[in-house]
Structure 1
Amino acid sequence: MARILSILVGLFFTLALAWSFANGAYTQITQPPAVTAEHEFHLAPKEVHFASDGPFGKFDKQQLQRGFQIYKEVCSACHSLSHVAFRDLSQLGYTEGQVKAIAAGFQVPGVDPNTGEANMRPGMPTDYFPKPFANDIAARAANNNAIPPDLSLMTKARHDGPAYVYSLLTGFRSQEGFRNAKGQEILKEFPDAKTPNGLHFNPYFANLNLAMAPPLTSTGQVEYGPGNPKPTVDQMAKDVSAFLIWTAEPKLEKRKQTGLAVVLFLIFATVLGYMAYRNVWANQKH
């Protein structure tokens, strides 16, 4: 009896699954989803290359320092970097004194040792980068009701993250006359897709419009030191994207070195095992 009951239960669920699949397929065929502006005009990230790409890639520390400069002078006004401590910047080639000076340039939450009350104090190397807003309400009030995301893990949190960040920073443009690969003009195909007031059109963003205004607007917006390339918008976008690769995975170089050593060991162990196999069975008749 129990066997028959279990067969009937299994048959019921099988039929229910088959009916659900058939009904979904029928609905998809007879009532296809409406084509949206996001579907037709959202662009895949641009192709861009970084020094850290590939199995043998390494960080370009000079570029990472430029990227940190972009974050500090432009991005830190709105975006936090809460998973990075000031002392971590020593990995970029900064000296201990430079790290202390950078930390002291930020105000972080502290406690008055005399009264025990909360206050703000200059940062120390052991502190983490502070949030630019006291809370989410303040963040929304300053950013058209949007909360700027933390950038620590951004290149890991988005598909093709480094290219996505680079594309987003360089992708702001006028919506007027914008065409997709099919030659369709967005406002002619979707008149209701006009970017609302307070938002900014960017085809590399999922819904085409975001609250963030173009952060990188002109060549020389940030002044690089001697020996660095010209700070064009394209160059600055690449530099800060490279920096965010490091914040998301500061041990990337170590991981690649370890992986290479493991692969070489496995190759050696495989060859050794095969030779041992041949030696053990060399005199055995098949």
Structure 2
Amino acid sequence: MALRITSSLLKSANGQTLQQLNKFSTSAKAWSRGQKTLAMLTGITVGGASALLFALESSVRASGGEVHPPEQPWSHNGIIQSLDHASIRRGYEVYKQVCAACHSMKYIAYRNLIGVSHTEAEAKAEAEEAMVKDGPNDLGEYFMRPGKLSDYFPSPYPNEEAARAANNGAYPPDLSWIVSARKGGEDYIFALLTGYHDPPAGIVLREGQYYNPYFPGGAIGMAQALYNEALEYSDGTPATASQLAKDVSVFLKWASEPEWDERKRMFIKAMGMLSILIGLTYYIKRHKWSSLKSRKISYHPRSKSE
């Protein structure tokens, strides 16, 4: 009897399932030819777009045969580690004496150095060394004056055309946000500055080009700029090529993210406040619920005489 009841139930369930499938199939059959064509074209378009995006991503990663920069053990990569401000100061010296000849930093002002790498008097002295175009004056003429703390770092060229003319058609990018604008960040900058060597067999460079495997395509218009003892640090640090590249990379990291240290300080404050609040919340929870969790409920039934 049980087997018969089970079989009848299965038949009824299968019948309902078949009816539902028939409904779906009839609804699908009710589609017009235009709807079917639209659905097919939509599927082909989505699939083709996905395949194209995947192919483009793969081609970008492998384009030109460039080498991905290795990760360096930067001292500021920890959760609560700040930037090395002594390195930022040395990196500014590298930028000022080497990089500023071709690259601008038009979004960084001299006042931004105060409290980071220089005192206010030192930043003011650095600004006064630069001659800034100002005006017009009462006669309608432009003039040159010593820089002020509110001035931004001067550009080495008056315009883009002059920059290209001085660099065989290549335009030196602005370095204000270069670390954030390049994949790999400071690892890429360090690898690029220290990665120059002779091109391998089969790669022909045009006049004015140099080989650097970390640059997309390998052919770069910027010559190697950092060498051992290329300059002298004011603090006496040995100015090796790798030290110069490391310091200017840290300086450009700060320029791209000047709020880096502030974010770390805010994180430490937030974690301290949250730890206190979590402990206080746990104590209040234990205090409020202790009477409920420790209570004892007993049942005393009344006698029939009562």
With normalisation by structure 2, the TM-score equals 0.75
Q: 109-118 or 136-145, which moves further after superposition?
A: 109-118
- CA gap 1:262/1:13 in 2 versus in 1, 3 angstroms: farther
Report the equivalent of 2:266. 258
Deviation at 1:99, TM superposition (A): 1.6
- CA gap 1:279/1:83 in 2 versus in 1, 3 angstroms: same
Question: Structure 2 unaligned runs (5+)?
Answer: 1-26, 296-306
Are residues 1:18 and 2:43 paired? yes
Report the equivalent of 1:223. 232
Which of residues 169, 184, 204 is equivalent to 1:194? 204
Contact 2:65–2:217 (CA under 8 A) maintained in structure 1: no
Matching of residues 200-219 of structure 1 within 5 Å: 200-216=210-226, 218-219=227-228
- CA gap 1:16/1:132 in 2 versus in 1, 3 angstroms: same
- CA gap 1:166/1:275 in 2 versus in 1, 3 angstroms: same
Which of residues 234, 240, 264 is equivalent to 1:232? 240
The alignment yields a C-alpha RMSD, in angstroms, of 3.4
Distance 1:141 1:150 in 2: 16
Matching of residues 135-214 of structure 1 within 5 Å: 135-176=159-200, 187=201, 191=202, 193-214=203-224
Distance 1:51 1:36 in 2: 30
Provide the secondary structure at the position in 2 that maps to 1:16: helix
Report the equivalent of 2:302. none
- Higher Rg: 2
Deviation at 1:109, TM superposition (A): 2.0
Q: Deviations over 1:41-92 (max 9, x none)?
A: 3111133233322122122222111110100001001111111111222223
Deviation at 1:138, TM superposition (A): 0.5
- CA gap 1:115/1:12 in 2 versus in 1, 3 angstroms: farther
Which of residues 35, 43, 48 is equivalent to 2:72? 48
Provide the secondary structure at the position in 1 that maps to 2:164: helix
Contact 2:110–2:152 (CA under 8 A) maintained in structure 1: yes
Contact 1:38–1:207 (CA under 8 A) maintained in structure 2: no
Deviation at 1:276, TM superposition (A): 3.8
- CA gap 1:12/1:63 in 2 versus in 1, 3 angstroms: same
Query: Hey, which of these two has a bigger chunk of helix by percent?
Result: 2
Q: Deviations over 1:137-178 (max 9, x none)?
A: 1011111212111111111111221111001100111003xx
- CA gap 1:274/1:54 in 2 versus in 1, 3 angstroms: same
Deviation at 1:132, TM superposition (A): 1.2
Distance 1:271 1:58 in 2: 28
Distance 2:272 2:58 in 1: 52
Q: Deviations over 1:252-277 (max 9, x none)?
A: 11110101221333344344444444
Distance 2:129 2:57 in 1: 52
Contact 2:194–2:245 (CA under 8 A) maintained in structure 1: yes
Distance 1:99 1:209 in 2: 37
Contact 1:38–1:208 (CA under 8 A) maintained in structure 2: no
Provide the secondary structure at the position in 1 that maps to 2:134: strand
Letter in 2 for 1:141: A
With normalisation by structure 1, the TM-score equals 0.80
Which of residues 257, 264, 268 is equivalent to 1:249? 257
Count residues with an aligned counterpart: 264
Distance 2:289 2:231 in 1: 70
Distance 1:159 1:119 in 2: 41
- CA gap 1:267/1:213 in 2 versus in 1, 3 angstroms: same
Sequence identity (%): 33
Report the equivalent of 1:70. 94
Matching of residues 97-116 of structure 1 within 5 Å: 97-116=121-140
Contact 2:88–2:117 (CA under 8 A) maintained in structure 1: no
Distance 2:180 2:56 in 1: 33
- CA gap 1:223/1:27 in 2 versus in 1, 3 angstroms: closer
Provide the secondary structure at the position in 2 that maps to 1:68: helix
Provide the secondary structure at the position in 1 that maps to 2:114: helix
Report the equivalent of 1:125. 149
